[in-house]
Amino acid sequence: MSEQTVIQPPANLIGRDVLTLLDFMSGEINDLLNFSEQLKENQKQNGQTLLLPGKSLGMIFENASTRTRVSFEVGMTQLGGHSLFLSPRDLQIGRGEPIKDTANVLSRYLDAIMIRTNSHESVEELAVHSDVPVINALTDLYHPCQALADLLTIKEHKGKLEGLKTAFIGDGNNVAHSLLIACAKVGMDAAIAVPKGYEPDDKVWKEIQQTAEENGTELELTNNPEEAAKDADVIYTDVWASMGYEEEQTKREKAFEGFQIDEELCANAKEDYIFLHCLPAHRGEEVAAEVIDGAHSVIYDEAENRLHVQKAILASVIE
């Protein structure tokens, strides 16, 4: 075992909620990415980095999860803390208890609350009434933890972020929202190609446009996948029917014809492009098997990095 170096989280993030990356300055995002890199390297070299001994994280899940639950739970353990899985069946909130009451009570037991739910408004209300940091682990509008893992993965494989181009092709959903915000915050150009009627949320799109303008990055919205993919350094997609939209599967399959990420589409990108997918994936639907399982795919590095960025978030916001 090599000698351990002292690793310190960014001091200016203590007590902060993590609801959307819109609330973070570019420098703060880069600080989190740098801290994630340090934690990842130390974990591989030395094992646990016990920055949160005796601390507890409550994890509220209203939706099923693989990567989010496991990465947060393992991450908290590796930091020396403890996590509690809380489903609607475990909480009185599932029987109609007001969010205000739940937030006030959990704040007296826990050091932070992570929540994965359908309504972003519920997360905002939880944060208003909580005395401890609230971390958004996915809502209908944003998925900030995923976007940070995406940035870390791009940085690892490309050696930089600023000046690169990311192309998101698929549904203008929560994953797309946070990815585009993240790109603009760190100086990356971005293009999103969606079928007509599946554009990003109007309010969020205006926020993304403003963020891109403030940071001097190019932003494109198109209905043409080839146009979005042109000269891209990163190709990204998500399932066509996210959680909550399963009943629209057949309708969406028809609407998304021509939007599959295959080798022909990727030929428009740079030769050394990388492929990202937040997972779970449907091979043969939104992405061809030869792409997601091919040499350009870094999806498992991306999934692993959920662990490292979430450890960085936890160690940075928990006091």
* Active site members: 116, 143, 146, 238, 278, 306
3-class secondary structure, 113: strand
Please state, as a whole number, how many other Cβ atoms lie within 10 Å of the Cβ of residue 66.
10
Pairing of β 82-86 and β 165-169 = unpaired
**Number of Cβ atoms within 10 Å of the Cβ of 148:** 26
- Structure token digits, residue 229: 């993919």
Residue 48, marked binder: no
Does 238 belong to an annotated binding site? yes
* 143 annotated to a ligand binding site: yes
* 141 annotated binding-site participant: no
d(CA 298, CA 315): 26
The response to whether 92 counts as a known ligand-binding position is yes
Q: Are 266 and 232 in contact (CB under 8 A)?
A: no
Has 266 been labeled as part of a binding site?
no
The answer to the question of whether 145 is labelled as a binding residue is yes
Tokens of 251: 């309708």
Please tell me whether 16 is known to bind a ligand. Answer: no
**Residue type present at position 92:** Q
Residue 277 annotated in ligand binding = no
Q: Is 78 annotated as a binding residue?
A: no
Residue 283, phi then psi, degrees to nearest 5: -60, 135
171 neighbors 138 (Cβ within 8 angstroms): no
State the DSSP code for 117: -
**57 among annotated binding-site residues:** no
Report which of 17, 5, 7, 6 is spatially closest to residue 318, judged by C-alpha positions.
17
* Annotated binding-site residue? 242: yes
For the annotated binding site for L-ornithine, the residues are: 174, 238, 242-243
Per the annotation, binding residues are 65-68, 92, 116, 143-146, 174, 238, 242-243, 278-279, 306
Binding annotation for carbamoyl phosphate:
65-68, 92, 116, 143-146, 278-279, 306
